[in-house]
Amino acid sequence: MAKIVLFEVEDWEKRYIEGALTEYQPVLTAEKLEEATVSKYQDAEIISTFIYSTLTKEILDQLPNLKFIATRSMGFDHIDTAVCKERGIVVSNVPTYGAHTVAEHTFALMLVVSRKIIPSVERAKRGDFSSVGLTGFDLFGKTLGVIGTGHIGKNVCELGLAFGMPVLAYCHSQDQELIAKGIRYVSLEELLAGADIVTLHLPHSHDTEHVINSQNISQFKKGAILINTARGVLVETKAILEGLEKGILAGAGLDVLEEENALKEEREFLASEHIIKGDIQTELLDHILLTRDDVVITPHNAFNSIEALHQILETSLGNIRSFLSGTPVNMIG
């Protein structure tokens, strides 16, 4: 029987993993796979890690029997894939998760902003049941602008249609299924000018950093709402402030902030290894947007549903089982 070791296992993962791989009797440990621990696992044939185990050539060289790595993450830059390729070690990742989860949180933010949910709740808690000044607006009939139509963006487009919203989209590639459903792909400039609500669903890259910035914030339709549940660095913070103060934006719903730019995986927020550095925490706590009544901020929680977290585990464990059956899936490279 293959020796399987899963590293960086959180308490909430243990029961699920043990149930899914019972017959293989896997070793579960909270330890990272690193120089200080690798000697204990030199007979491992299959390993699974999160991103804090840096699988360098030096580490991999101490695992002579290793045949397969299942990283419980979308990213895989913590693994020396060149060495793996040279040695014939198969590597699989979690290519996508939480596509419905994040899309639903996106609409939660839209509704919280459009229906003034936060001030309504706060007023009711004070015993004040007046609705004066709490008039919101319908999403029905408003134009939704979706920047990025990958797995998450596609679901946002479809939810927009379900809400009765005309949908404009901007992406480097066009989804023919969305076009068939009535989604119209346009330039970024046309989307900003025409959308009542603009929502971002792009990965962070050199090309997407500050895709919304001080230069194009003035192109937004007056009174638009900005939603960002993707990556904070997609939007220049001062552009949001400028948009709000000049009345270009009527409000914003943000699950991410620009100061989070070092984040690689959403699940880092639930990992015991992840501790927000004091200076970053201070920046977030002192963030100027937190004090504004026209901005709703959630703590990078859009991904955090039972279903999305189970999907990460299901995919990772499925990768292991597929490899053991001789039909590996979700392979890198």
Tell me: pLDDT of 268 over 90.
no
CA neighbor of 92 nearest in space, from 318, 245, 325, 287 = 318
E runs forming strands in the chain: 4-6, 27-28, 46-49, 68-71, 90-92, 144-147, 167-170, 184-185, 197-200, 224-228, 249-254, 295-297
Rounded distance between C-alpha atoms, residue 178 and residue 199, angstroms: 16
Q: Are 57 and 36 in contact (CB under 8 A)?
A: no
Q: Are 162 and 183 in contact (CB under 8 A)?
A: no
- Indicate the class that CATH gives domain 4-97+307-324: alpha beta
Residue of 13, 260, 266, 268 with catalytic role = 260
Q: Mean pLDDT score of the chain, rounded to an integer?
A: 92
Model confidence band, residue 85 (pLDDT cutoffs 50, 70, 90)? very high
What distance in Å separates the CA atoms of residue 199 and residue 211, rounded to the nearest whole number?
A: 12
Q: What is the pLDDT of residue 162?
A: 98
* Half-sphere exposure (Cβ direction) of 200: Cα atoms closer than 13 Å: 29
Has 231 been annotated as catalytic? yes
Q: How confident is the model at residue 278 (pLDDT cuts 50, 70, 90)?
A: very low
What would the pLDDT profile of 297-321 be if each residue is shown by its tens digit? Answer: 998 899 999 999 999 999 999 999 9
Domains 4-97+307-324 and 99-304 agree in fold: yes
pLDDT in tens, 228-252: 999 999 999 999 999 999 999 999 9
- Give dist(CA 99, CA 66) in Å, integer: 32
15 in catalytic set? no
Residue with tokens 């607006």: 137
pTM for the predicted model, two decimal places: 0.87
pLDDT for 261 equals 58
DSSP tally for the chain: helices H, then strands E: 11, 12
Q: Which of 231, 259, 266, 268 is catalytic?
A: 231
Cα–Cα distance, 183 to 174 (Å, whole number): 10
* Beta-bridge mates of residue 90: 68
CATH class of 99-304: alpha beta
pLDDT, residue 333, reads: 76
What ranges do the domains of the chain cover?
4-97+307-324, 99-304
Q: Which residues contact 227 (CB under 8 A, 6 or more apart)?
A: 106, 109, 110, 113, 197, 198, 199, 200, 252, 253, 254
